[in-house]
Amino acid sequence: MGAIKTPILITSTEELRTALTGAGEIGFVPTMGYLHEGHATLIRRARQDHPGGRVVVSVFINPMQFGPSEDLSRYPRNLEGDLQVAGQAGADIVFHPNAAQMYPEGFSTRVSVSGVSEPLDGAARPGHFTGVTTVVLKLLNMVRPDRAYFGEKDWQQLAVVRRMVTDLNVPVQVVGVPTVRDPSGLALSSRNSYLSDEQKARAAVLARALRAVQAAFAAGERHTQALQQAGLDILAADSEVTLDYLSVVNSHLQETELVSPDPLNRVLVAARMFGVRLIDNLPLDQGPDDIGRNV
């Protein structure tokens, strides 16, 4: 077994373009750092798809996608650990720009996607997706990848990025990768680091609520309100849950009175537990990979 390589750490766009000149196909994994097994899964997929090319991972905590009362200042950071995780998973380059590099003096452009960005997290976190699409488009222009990899845990983000790439003719293939979970079913997230082991076990109630919705759908229920109630009943049993939403939506992120056949139907949830905002989702039509992959 060969030694694990250390990825090159690059902090400027100029260095990045030099490093990628003549690199062949490029796979790109944008992150906010504090990498975990979910990120590693994205990186390994990018490595698999680009065996003779380059895999780039960005680590940038994007201030534009945080609201004024959110956790920007305390968002977890560990660049040394990120380099180790990225290297073990097969990354060649870790791109780590600072805020001044990404948003220099005079920066005044915003990228806004209507429609799919408006419900759910768009309503709960005003301005969030404008921050996401602005930074993702900048990063895509900096890295110029052939494929970019996003986790399905952030299902709405994935839909928003796909819409932006399609609408603006960005020459990149957006690849969604199934959610990775710990053995309890809790979706992996950098924000899980705020929770104790006992709190993480409690937070798995979100995944149980999603599975209850799946079970109701599998049993023949097609009324959206009844499907959602199956999940709400699970969440109501835990006093720690402060719910933002639990919603059954179609491929356009819209709720309808009755669920029509669509493989992209999804049930999504966002809630605060122990002071931490957590999100999760599952496909409505239960399949072999519906609960992602456990670590």
pLDDT of residue 226: 98
Residue 224 predicted with pLDDT over 80? yes
> Class for domain 190-286, per CATH?
alpha beta
Q: What is the pLDDT of residues 281-294, one digit of tens each?
A: 999 997 644 555 56
Structure tokens at 198: 């006992």
**CA 166, CA 180: separation in Å to the nearest integer?**
27
> Class for domain 8-180, per CATH?
alpha beta
240 is in an annotated binding site: no
Q: What is the pLDDT of residues 83-116, one digit of tens each?
A: 999 999 999 999 999 999 999 999 999 999 999 9
Q: What is the pLDDT of residues 55-69, one digit of tens each?
A: 999 999 999 999 998
| Contact assessment for residue 128 and residue 65, using Cβ atoms and an 8 Å cutoff | yes
69 is in an annotated binding site: no
Segments making up each domain of the chain, as ranges: 8-180, 190-286
52 is in an annotated binding site: no
Active site residue 96: no
Under DSSP, the state recorded for 193 is G
Q: What is the pLDDT of residues 230-246, one digit of tens each?
A: 999 999 999 999 999 99
Catalytic residue among 39, 50, 96, 128: 39
36 is in an annotated binding site: yes
Q: In what order do the strands lie in the sheet with 242-249?
A: 242-249, 266-273, 276-283
| Contact assessment for residue 91 and residue 56, using Cβ atoms and an 8 Å cutoff | yes
Task: Report pTM.
Answer: 0.95
Q: Which residue would you say has higher pLDDT here, 6 or 140? A: 140
Residue 133 predicted with pLDDT over 90? yes
264 is in an annotated binding site: no
| Phi-psi region at 187: left, alpha or beta (left = phi > 0; alpha = psi -120 to 50) | beta
Q: What does pLDDT average to over the chain?
A: 95
